[in-house]
Structures are given as structure tokens and as C-alpha cells.
Amino acid sequence: MKISYHGHSVVKIETAGKTILIDPFITGNELTDLKASDQTPDVILLTHGHNDHVGDTIEIAKRYNPLIVAPNELAVYLGWQGLNTHGMNIGGMNEFEFGSVKLTQAFHSSSYTTDENEIIYTGMPSGILFTAEGKTVYHAGDTSLFGDMALIGKRQTIDVAFLPIGDNFTMGPEDAAVAVELLNPKLVVPIHYNTFPPIRQNPQQFKNLVSTHEVNIMQAGDSIEI
């Protein structure tokens, strides 16, 4: 399994001949190395409905028709746009041909803002546990620290955890470091920082706070094999 990071919360997973994009915020993301017009994923996974996570989903999907797996209300809304969607909810797991997806809770909000200045409710925000080839990737989405991360880590061996550290809208470095202790991943990657002024952070500070687990500060375009 090849996993690459592309700025903000954008993660790409390549497994069993399939390409999976998580939260493809590309256009308007000054930290990404990707171009939306070049993306041809088989699957898009979405954690919640905020525009900096849904990102270029609609443009990519109308051109290439990937399966979009998202929290149910967000999936319904995107389905109304003519996209191929599969709705899920927190605690639910589904086996797909490309791997299994389970949604976890995330403490945040979730809505989509249209060009007409409408705010569309898009259900509960979530994290994602993705499992394939005997490996599990946890993408926490946007969330605060919460105690049940310990249950996630206890019930699931997490090979790589992508955790937000930006503060202001999500956990900051200190809370994210506590999250690492609760989740107990083999490897942790900080995400959702430095894209906008309110979430400016030094990821090295987060790494310094995590003394018991391996931290990989990935730059846009960096990849790992697990």
C-alpha cells in the first residue's frame, strides 16, 4: 500500500490497483502539489462537508465518476448533483472491493457553503478507518481531542494515523500529542496546519511533544509504503 500526503488534509492511497483520495481540497490549497484536472481516482472518501475538505470532489467526480463514500447527508447532497455516492454513518463499516471503510466520531461541525452563500447541513463530521492489505489507516478528519480515541486505538491496530494539529478549528499540537497516546498508532502524520493564517503551526513542536511514537512530518508529494 502506497500512501501520499498532498497538503492540508489531502491523502492519497494506492492499493490493489485502486486509487483513493481523501478530502481532495486542491483548488485554493496553496500547499498542495496536485492539480485537480489531473486526478483520476477510483474512490473519494470524505470526512465532512466543509469546503476545504469536499474541495474539488464535484469537479473530479463529474469528469471521472469515482465512487464517493461520505457521511450520509453529505452523500445525499452530492447524489443530488448527479454523483455516484455511498452514504454511511458513524460507527458503521462497509466492505468495498477496494477495502473496508468505517466511520468514527469526530467532534467538529459539518456544512457545505454554495456559491449562492447558502449553508447546506451535511450531517455529522467523521473520521475514517480504512483497511486494506491487512493495514489500517486512520484519517481523523477535523476533530478535537476526545476520550473515545482510546477505544479506537484499543479495538483497531492503526498503522498510520493522520491527525490535525492546526488548532483554532481542530486540535492543536498539545491535544494532538495526547491523541497519539490514546490511539497508539505505529506512525503518525500531522495534517491540517499552515494552510490559512488561523491554523499556522510548527509541526516540529508537535513532533517534540510525541516522545513514544514515530512522527513523520510529510511535505506535499511525500509518500510512504506500508
Looking at every residue in the chain, the average pLDDT score rounds to 97
Going by pLDDT thresholds of 50, 70 and 90, the confidence category of residue 192 is: very high
d(CA 69, CA 74) in angstroms, rounded, equals 9
Q: Is residue 148 part of a domain?
A: yes
Render pLDDT for 33-59 as a digit per residue (tens, 0 to 9): 999 999 999 999 999 999 999 999 999
Q: Residue 28's domain spans which residues?
A: 2-219
Task: Quote the pLDDT of residue 170.
Answer: 98
Query: What CATH number has the domain bearing residue 25?
Result: 3.60.15.10
Q: Is residue 226 part of a domain?
A: no
What's the domain count of the chain?
1
Q: Is residue 85 part of a domain?
A: yes
> SS in 3 state form for 167-207?
CCCCCCHHHHHHHHHHHCCCEEEEECCCCCHHHCCCHHHHH
Q: Is residue 225 part of a domain?
A: no
Phi and psi torsions of 130, nearest 5°? -110, 125
Task: Quote the pLDDT of residue 94.
Answer: 98
Q: Is residue 48 part of a domain?
A: yes
Render pLDDT for 88-120 as a digit per residue (tens, 0 to 9): 999 999 999 999 999 999 999 999 999 999 999
Q: Is residue 108 part of a domain?
A: yes
